[in-house]
Amino acid sequence: MLTLDAEQTAARHWFESLRTRICSAFEAIEREAGSDAAFDYIPWDRTDPSGEPGGGGVRGVMKGKVFEKVGVNVSTVGGTFEGEFAKSIHGAADNPAFFATGISLVAHMANPHVPAVHMNTRFLVTTKRWFGGGADLNPPLPVEADTADFHATLQAACDAHDPAYYPRFKAWADDYFYIPHRKVHRGVGGIFYDHLEGDFDAGFAFTRAVGEAFLDAYPRIVRRRMHDPFDAADVATMRNWRGRYAEFNLVHDRGTLFGLKTGGNIDAILMSLPPLATWE
């Protein structure tokens, strides 16, 4: 069993409470659509390479009428990074000991007019302590009003903490969520930040604000689009777009690599992949 200090405990509890609220909000949308779909929660344990208990998490998955497949995962893990991987992690090159806690969410929607979405926030401890994460919108059929709404909500959260955050973190997301071999962005962006260290309280407050902004913006956008009519051509466009999404997550996503390199739960790590995709 991991021993957590006060900061680690506070971060863990926040991520778990945010998970509960997000899942409740998504289940409420399913009820509005006449569905009784609910999240299944599957706990998992991790063994550190040292052989000691290395924490674990809970994988939450729902397949419904509005949410074709949505995963909301929380995890709290710790131990030591193996081999050369430690050199790629902030503050771990000389000491491979680490702690990480966070929430990760990906939603793939049944209606092609409802944008898919990704959100994660995390707290990591090596020889340094920092927050990271963000949220980005991934519509197969982009609508400018939805993109503007999502970005405006994130910008308001950023501006309340530092006016320099939004332009910096938006640019970081645009750069990160890009598929080089396709020369296209994965979606319409959002914010991405990492290595937010120094004052724990300030970093934690901002990270909570990102979670609140997501919970404010995304359900509103889902409700706006969930009843829009669509046809077979729209579905084909969505499934082809999902192929690009899968390519990014399998080839370029750092979170996927981190989970695999640290012995995370395989199903939780790959819950970001869409249920159906095509390559044409």
Distant-in-sequence, close-in-space partners of 202: CB < 8 Å, separation ≥ 6? 161
- 127-157 pLDDT, tens digit each: 999 999 999 999 999 999 999 999 999 999 9
- Please give the Cα distance from 209 to 159 (Å, whole number): 11
- Please give the Cα distance from 221 to 182 (Å, whole number): 28
- Report yes or no on 200 lying in a domain: yes
48 in helix, strand or coil? coil
| pLDDT at residue 253, as a whole number | 84
Number of domains the chain is built from: 1
CB 33 within 8 A of CB 97: no
- 27-55 pLDDT, tens digit each: 999 999 999 999 999 999 999 888 888 99
- Please give the Cα distance from 4 to 21 (Å, whole number): 24
- Report yes or no on 78 lying in a domain: yes
- Report yes or no on 14 lying in a domain: yes
36 exposure class (CB count in 10 Å sphere: 0-12, 13-18, 19+): exposed
- Report yes or no on 137 lying in a domain: yes
Closest C-alpha to 133, from 124, 151, 120, 123 = 120
| pLDDT at residue 248, as a whole number | 92
- 92-108 pLDDT, tens digit each: 888 999 999 999 999 99
**116 or 257, greater pLDDT:** 116
- Please give the Cα distance from 2 to 11 (Å, whole number): 14
The conformation of residue 199, written as its DSSP 8-state character, comes to -
- Report yes or no on 279 lying in a domain: no
- Please give the Cα distance from 36 to 65 (Å, whole number): 9
**Residues 82, 80, 78, 255, Cα dihedral to 10°:** -30
Domain CATH for 64: 3.40.1500.10
- Report yes or no on 278 lying in a domain: no
Using the predicted structure, report yes or no on whether residue 266 has a pLDDT greater than 90. Answer: no
- Report yes or no on 1 lying in a domain: no
Using the predicted structure, report yes or no on whether residue 70 has a pLDDT greater than 90. Answer: yes
- Please give the Cα distance from 101 to 121 (Å, whole number): 9
The two tokens of residue 255 are 């979170």
Q: Which band of pLDDT confidence, cut at 50, 70 and 90, is reported for residue 87?
A: confident
Cα radius of gyration rounded to whole Å, the chain: 18
Could you tell me the pTM of the whole model? Answer: 0.94
139 in helix, strand or coil? coil
Helix, strand, coil % over all residues of the chain, rounded to 5 = 45, 30, 30
- Report yes or no on 208 lying in a domain: yes
Q: What is the residue range of 206's domain? A: 6-272
Tell me if residue 118 is catalytic: yes
- 72-84 pLDDT, tens digit each: 999 999 999 887 8
CB 113 within 8 A of CB 138: no
CB 199 within 8 A of CB 161: no
- Please give the Cα distance from 32 to 66 (Å, whole number): 10
Catalytic one of 108, 118, 151, 185: 118
Share of the chain above pLDDT 90, in %: 84
Question: How many other β-carbons are positioned within 10 Å of the β-carbon of residue 267?
Answer: 13
- 189-217 pLDDT, tens digit each: 999 999 999 999 999 999 999 999 999 99
